[in-house]
Amino acid sequence: MKEKRKTTRLQEFNEITVSVVSGEHDLQQEKMSYNYSEDISVTGAKIRGSILLPVDTLVKIDFTLEALKKQITAIGKVKWIKVIIEDKFYQAGIEFVDTPDEAIQKIEDYISWKKENASLKPFRIIAKINEKE
């Protein structure tokens, strides 16, 4: 199957807080029970939680990225939903829209940093072994 994604996704869980900005459905405009993102890219994220977010709902997501000390806020639109356990657990694909360039740059820098560190891990292990000898 051909990959449709425009950018590289970083597969990791990050804590998030989701608030509904607007939508056609009567969803409360307060923080919702979406606690984690499962992956992230500069164009979007996959999130999971306990509330069904209808497609085209506009949401604000506050990310707490694993190794970053600052919070990143992005605005996104729900592009797809997947029911994992009926009435209990859902996934949603979010496409970032109207997100400040600064936030997108922080996400891009974070992904690059994580990928660079992942590629260096074998060398770090060897260096630690050599230090002990």
Per-residue pLDDT tens for 38-51?
Answer: 889 999 999 998 88
Residue 120 lies in a domain: yes
Stated as kind and residue range, the H or E segment containing 63 is: strand 58-64
pLDDT band, residue 17 (cuts 50/70/90): confident
Residue 24 lies in a domain: yes
Q: Which two tokens stand for residue 58?
A: 């506009």
Minimal CA–CA distance to 48: which of 9, 74, 79, 13? 13
Q: Which bin fits 98, alpha (ψ -120 to 50), beta or left (φ > 0)?
A: left
Q: How many domains does the chain have?
A: 1
pLDDT tens column, 46-81: 999 888 889 999 999 998 877 767 789 999 999 999
Dihedral angle of Cα 75, 30, 13, 103, to the nearest 10 degrees: 30
pLDDT band, residue 28 (cuts 50/70/90): low
| pTM recorded for the entire structure | 0.75
Residue 1 lies in a domain: no
End-to-end CA distance of the chain: give it in Å, rounded: 48
pLDDT band, residue 84 (cuts 50/70/90): confident
Residue 4 lies in a domain: no
Residue 32 lies in a domain: yes
Percentage of the chain lying above the pLDDT 70 cut: 72
- Judged against a pLDDT cut of 60, whether residue 25 lies above it is answered with no
CATH number of the domain where residue 116 is located: 2.40.10.220
Residue 2 lies in a domain: no
